[in-house]
């Protein structure tokens, strides 16, 4: 157990729907990062939050949004889902941006 | 454009053998370089992290090297085990307010008995 908790582990939904992925960072970690990994693809950085504030944005679609709450857990909202959004979505946390990340076990999203 | 290139894309070795994975990057200004191991369907697990001034860092049978002048890193695995079968990902971060990381595509390693 890495200490980073992601729920749900698996999610199957239809095109056009909206889903919310949840991440609880390791105790004491203020930064939360979201990544997307499509089949046989590398990890794509989506967005980073630090202590409740958005810190950096990567290749995140406008249909996707995220937030970090006062208790430091984070949610990634994916809307108007398309087949191509099927992927593993990972959350990672760190104490600060200069330290290594700790990844969660991911949420596997399947859009049918 | 910041890029991280890894080679080979895939590698098959016999149990007990050594292997070396390569990572070349064009990320600038450099902050740190990390190697991760990712088992299929699982989250990546950190193996090593190196800053500009570090040339070598070991973690058990894993040894990472960094040449900041040539912008190259390698990950050497000694006496491979079946459990080493995984994807190995090189990640380079830039200096700056957000330290946005750039991920390599990974090297898929298969260790056969």
pLDDT greater than 90 at residue A11: yes
pLDDT of residue B98: 59
Can you read off the two tokens belonging to residue A92? 């990672």
pLDDT greater than 60 at residue B97: no
Q: Does A53 touch chain B (CB under 8 A)?
A: no
Distance from CA of A103 to the nearest CA of B (A): 5
Distance, CA of A105 to CA of A102 (rounded, Å): 10
Can you read off the two tokens belonging to residue B37? 């191991």
Are residues B5 and B25 in contact, defined by beta-carbon separation less than 8 angstroms? Answer: yes
Give the dihedral sign, CA A75/A76/A81/A82. Answer: negative
Comparing alpha-carbon positions, the chain B residue that sits nearest to A58 is B100
Distance, CA of B15 to CA of B86 (rounded, Å): 14
| Closest CB to A100 among B49, B97, B105 | B49
pLDDT of residue A42: 82
A90/B44 touch (CB, cutoff 8 Å), yes or no: yes
Percent of chain A with pLDDT over 90: 75
């Amino acid at each position: 157990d890495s200490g980073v908790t992601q729920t749900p582990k698996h999610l199957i939904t239809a095109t056009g729907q909206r889903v919310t992925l949840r991440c609880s960072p390791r105790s004491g970690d203020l930064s939360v990062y979201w990544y997307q990994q499509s089949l046989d693809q590398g990890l794509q950085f989506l967005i980073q939050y630090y202590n409740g504030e958005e810190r950096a944005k990567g290749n995140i679609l406008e249909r996707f949004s995220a937030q970090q709450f006062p208790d430091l857990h984070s949610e990634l909202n994916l809307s108007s889902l398309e087949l191509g959004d099927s992927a593993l979505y990972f959350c990672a946390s760190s104490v600060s941006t200069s330290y290594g990340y700790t990844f969660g076990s991911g949420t596997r999203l399947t859009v049918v | 454009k910041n890029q991280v290139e890894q080679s080979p894309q895939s590698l098959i070795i016999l149990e007990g053998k050594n292997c070396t994975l390569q990572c070349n990057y064009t990320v600038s200004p450099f902050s740190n370089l990390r190697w991760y191991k990712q088992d299929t369907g699982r989250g990546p697990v950190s193996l090593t992290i190196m800053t500009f001034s570090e040339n070598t860092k070991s973690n058990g049978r894993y040894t990472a090297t960094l040449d900041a002048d040539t912008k190259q890193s390698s990950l050497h695995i000694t006496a491979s085990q079946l459990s080493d079968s995984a994807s190995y990902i090189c990640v380079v971060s830039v200096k700056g307010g957000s330290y946005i990381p750039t991920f390599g595509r990974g090297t898929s390693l298969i260790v056969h008995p």
